[in-house]
Amino acid sequence: MKKNISKKFVLCIIPARAGSKRLPNKNIMLLNGKPLIAYPIEVALKSKCFDDVIVSTDSEKIANLAKDYGANIPFMRPKKLATDKSPVVDTIVWTINKYEKKYNTKIDILVILQATTPTTIIDDIKNCIELIIKKKYDSAITVFKVNDRPEWCGIIRNKKYQKYFTEKQVKQMAKIDWYMPTGGVYAVKKNVFMKKKMIITNNCGYIIIPPERNTDIDTILDFKFAEYLLKATNG
């Protein structure tokens, strides 16, 4: 384990289970010549923000790749916590308890990075951690501004398209700027997380990500788009 640049014990967890229905084996797919799992590991290590960077996986293949890129695999994730229906919160709680017991240490801040957001940069990580340490937020995430207005969304009911919101609601919602988590960085105080079992707390800071770095890979189209963005930005 390497000491980070802060005085807090900051642990980075990169979840990467084997199963993926929409895009099978996506965590080890080659994106511009590197497996997807390599991206969060490399940016985490280069940031020098962490005491340890671990990959949480149930796959020996992913574990071996993660080790090749410098991540720690302190233990394998149980199969019961690696299914489509496994709650992320349960996995994180299990990982924290297991890690603290194994290394006889106490985590102060937990940061979750995802392989599905390969456009995350060092400043995203540093800025989220800084919001917690210096600005006293309980958690911090990366977000992007939603351009497709949600108030104009509808639903399909009885084989017909129907408006979902009333005209009054549409007018109210049109005055609001909407933001979505990018999936890139989730940072949270460990004690707050363990008490509330929430990653995004009520006292949550944010870093706004520009459109050209907003990627969240779930489909082959997402993968191709991320590939294009990385090439276009020399990522």
What pLDDT, in 10s, does the model give residues 49-78?
999 999 999 999 999 999 999 999 999 999
What total number of domains does the chain contain? 1
Whether residue 216 lies inside any domain: the answer is yes
Encode pLDDT of 8-30 as tens digits: 999 999 999 887 777 878 999 99
Strand segments (E) across 63-168? 109-113, 139-145, 154-157, 160-163
Q: Write down the pTM of the prediction.
A: 0.91
pLDDT of 127: 97
Q: Is the separation of the CB atoms in 77 and 86 below 8 Å?
A: no
Residues 145, 130: Cα–Cα separation, whole Å? 21
Whether residue 200 lies inside any domain: the answer is yes
- Provide mean pLDDT across the span 26-55: 96
Among the listed residues 187, 11, 194, 197, the one whose alpha carbon sits nearest the alpha carbon of residue 105: 11
Whether residue 31 lies inside any domain: the answer is yes
Q: Would you say residue 184 has pLDDT above 60? A: yes
For residue 115, the one-letter residue type is: A
The separation between CA 225 and the C-alpha centre of its own chain, rounded to angstroms, equals 18
Beta bridge partners of 35: 30
pLDDT of 18: 85
Encode pLDDT of 187-205 as tens digits: 999 999 999 999 999 999 9
CATH number of the domain to which 110 belongs: 3.90.550.10
Whether residue 99 lies inside any domain: the answer is yes
Q: Is the separation of the CB atoms in 178 and 146 below 8 Å?
A: yes
Confidence tier at 231 by pLDDT (50, 70, 90): confident
- Provide mean pLDDT across the span 141-145: 96
User: What range does the domain containing 72 cover?
Assistant: 10-144+180-232
